[in-house]
């Protein structure tokens, strides 16, 4: 009987929460694709994640991997990669801004978890970056690994994030004890770390590279430690009430992966559209009909993504990899045939 009563209480809470989230996300609103087409712009939520991920340059323009994910989606649905209105989000408001319709999609370093997927009123269509939580330390401390730190070393960490929960869980498993210093924002946590108010700062490892490049007073004064204490599958977020928009966001990203798998680049896509004999390549590039119909898009949507933004390898290398100041190895973010985790389903027929 206790189980039945407990199950009933959970069911009631779930129904109430679902109703509240449906109300907050505007269940009766028009479809997002139609909204984008009507305004001629994609409204994309991004956070200031650091150089290579998302940051405003000296000219006032957003640049970075997450920014190009917005641009790829805009190319597919709005007709051009530049038809994006960027809305800045942060760890506190990113879910609410999406649910209340201020943006069409959020493209930043949000970790896909069951709790967020099932109870936050958002959906995660795909993973665009595979990462893990790591640590940055002051080089003057002379530490090479977490185990080199003295007991009671302090760690700056952002409140209300999986980062904090991961750290608490890892300490419980490992037996290492740090003094946690929760801070409300990324900017506040980084400021505290760089001003020596804590011994370590923890976040996603790719983000640590980006923040060190963008925010550190002297890049060489800080070392990113080798340990990763969690899985961090990062992906875009959409509202949960539109299956077609979910599919569009997912396939706008998968198009970049499929293009890299097929050797299609921004430079050769136009020629391949004219000359390629492979039916999959021809369909993908819009030379044969059908690739847009099921998504409610025209048949040139993937062609625009690749020619205006690039394939996945081009985007990664430009902002995070070999062609960027960060120089981060592809690793898990390589293609499946190269030992990585990225894998695009075929177009089919």
Helices 205-215, 186-194: axis angle to 10 degrees equals 60
Q: What percent of the chain has pLDDT over 90?
A: 83
pLDDT for the residue numbered 15: 38
Q: Averaged over 199-214, what is the pLDDT?
A: 92
Does residue 77 come out as left (phi exceeding 0), alpha (psi in the -120 to 50 range) or beta? Answer: alpha
Distance separating alpha carbons of residues 62 and 194, to the nearest angstrom: 24
CA distances from 260 to 198, 256, 335, 337 (A): 42, 6, 8, 11
Distance separating alpha carbons of residues 308 and 68, to the nearest angstrom: 10
Residue-wise pLDDT tens digits, 165-189: 999 999 999 988 899 999 999 899 9
pLDDT for the residue numbered 165: 93
Token pair 């875009």 is at which residue?
A: 236
Residue-wise pLDDT tens digits, 59-90: 999 999 999 999 999 999 999 999 999 999 99
Q: Residue 251 — pLDDT band, cuts 50, 70, 90?
A: very high
Mean pLDDT of the chain: 91
Q: Residue 348 — pLDDT band, cuts 50, 70, 90?
A: confident
Following DSSP, what letter does each residue of 161-202 receive, concatenated? Answer: SHHHHHHHHHHHHH----EEEEESSHHHHHHHHHTTSSSEEE
Distance separating alpha carbons of residues 309 and 9, to the nearest angstrom: 49
Distance separating alpha carbons of residues 157 and 305, to the nearest angstrom: 36
- Number of residues that make up the chain: 349
Q: What is the pTM of this model?
A: 0.84
Residue-wise pLDDT tens digits, 279-320: 999 999 999 999 999 999 999 999 999 999 999 999 999 999
Token pair 């505007």 is at which residue?
A: 26
Residue-wise pLDDT tens digits, 4-49: 333 333 343 333 344 444 444 444 345 999 999 999 999 999 999 8
pLDDT for the residue numbered 160: 84
CA distances from 39 to 32, 35, 42 (A): 11, 6, 8
pLDDT for the residue numbered 162: 87
Q: What percent of the chain has pLDDT over 70?
A: 91
CA distances from 298 to 131, 140, 147, 253 (A): 34, 56, 55, 17
């Amino acid at each position: 009987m206790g189980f039945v009563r407990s199950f009933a209480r959970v069911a009631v809470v779930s129904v109430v929460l679902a109703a509240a989230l449906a109300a907050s996300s505007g269940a009766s609103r028009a479809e997002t694709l139609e909204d984008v087409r009507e305004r001629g712009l994609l409204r994309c939520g991004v956070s200031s994640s650091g150089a290579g991920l998302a940051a405003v340059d000296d000219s006032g323009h957003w640049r970075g991997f997450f920014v190009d994910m917005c641009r790829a989606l805009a190319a597919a649905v709005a007709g051009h990669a530049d038809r994006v209105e960027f809305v800045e989000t942060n760890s506190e408001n990113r879910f609410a801004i999406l649910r209340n319709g201020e943006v069409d999609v959020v493209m930043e370093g949000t970790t896909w978890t069951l709790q967020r997927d099932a109870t936050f009123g958002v959906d995660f269509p795909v993973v665009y970056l595979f990462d893990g939580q790591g640590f940055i330390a002051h080089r003057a401390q002379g530490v090479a690994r977490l185990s080199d730190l003295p007991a009671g070393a302090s760690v700056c960490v952002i409140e209300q994030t999986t980062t904090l929960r991961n750290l608490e869980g890892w300490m419980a498993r490992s037996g290492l004890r740090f003094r946690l210093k929760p801070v409300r924002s990324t900017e506040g946590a980084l400021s505290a770390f760089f001003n020596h108010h804590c011994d370590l700062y923890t976040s996603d490892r790719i983000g640590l590279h980006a923040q060190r490049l963008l925010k550190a007073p002297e890049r060489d004064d800080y070392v990113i430690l080798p340990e990763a204490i969690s899985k961090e599958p990062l992906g875009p977020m959409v509202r949960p009430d539109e299956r077609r928009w979910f599919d569009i966001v997912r396939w706008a990203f998968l198009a970049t992966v499929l293009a890299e798998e097929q050797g299609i680049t921004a430079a050769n896509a136009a020629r391949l559209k004219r000359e390629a004999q492979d039916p999959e390549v021809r369909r993908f590039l819009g030379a044969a009909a059908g690739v847009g119909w099921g998504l409610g898009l025209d048949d040139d949507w993937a062609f625009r993504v690749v020619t205006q933004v690039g394939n996945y390898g081009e985007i990664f290398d430009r902002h995070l990899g070999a062609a960027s100041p960060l120089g981060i190895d592809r690793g898990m973010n390589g293609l499946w045939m190269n030992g990585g985790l990225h894998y695009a389903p075929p177009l089919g027929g």
